[in-house]
Structure 1
Amino acid sequence: METTDVILNEKNRGEVELFSDGKKVGFMEISVYNQRLTVYHTEVDSQYEGRGFAKLLLGKLVSYARENDLKIVALCPYVHAQFRRHPEDYQDVWYNKEA
């Protein structure tokens, strides 16, 4: 069973964490400032690659942004690629300077 959680410290820096059967197997490095959620990096343990775990992290990131009325600054190559491939799915949360 997989679970995700958003953990932020007192400076609003932290992670979206992914657990599989109680073991942390992936994360996204994030920060929140001025109604923007910046995502820097996504990582999933190599033994769990190919199972759609990065997509689970992305789903939690996006739902957290929507729940907290935040715009996502996609500095992470994975997140940026997903936003560019599926702009209709993320246009409400994507802070896109190009648009």
Structure 2
Amino acid sequence: MNIDQNDETFDLFYDAEKAGFLEYNKNKEGVLEITHTEVAEEFGRKGLGMELVKVAVEDAKKNNLKIHSLCPYAKKMIEKTPEFKDLLV
């Protein structure tokens, strides 16, 4: 598994094939806004969506950003992970 960061996405590759992505933007108020998380159906049930969320949270921590998730999946994963939920606004 490999995750590449681009301007507004984290792209996840599994066995050299693009398996999913997380879309985000960083606003001027110091907030990383997660807008969408998606993993291709054939790569489901491997925990890859959570891996994308973890990378986004790590990026927010590294850059001293808070997180606002418009994506229901990412919001749920962040809320149920004690060390992540303090970053939510």
> Normalization by structure 2: what TM-score?
0.90
Q: Which residue in 1 is equivalent to 2:79? A: 84
Unmatched runs of 5 consecutive residues or more in structure 1: 9-13
Q: Give the Cα–Cα distance (whole angstroms) in 2 for the partners of residues 28 and 46 of structure 1.
A: 15
Q: Which residue in 2 is equivalent to 1:59? A: 54
RMSD of aligned Cα (Å): 1.2
Equivalent residues, number: 88
Q: Which residue in 1 is equivalent to 2:22? A: 28
Q: Percent identity among equivalent residues?
A: 30
Q: Deviations for 1:34-60, whole angstroms, at most 9, x for unmatched residues? A: 211100111001000000100110111
Looking at CA atoms only, which structure, 1 or 2, has the larger radius of gyration? 1
Does 1:17 find its partner at 2:7?
no
2:15 partner letter: D
Q: In 2, are the aligned partners of 1:5 and 1:60 still within 8 Å (CA)?
A: no
Task: Quote how far apart the aligned CAs of 1:84 are.
Answer: 2.5
Q: Which residue in 1 is equivalent to 2:4? A: 5
| 2:64 alignment partner, SS class | coil
Q: Which moved more, 1:77-86 or 1:43-52?
A: 77-86
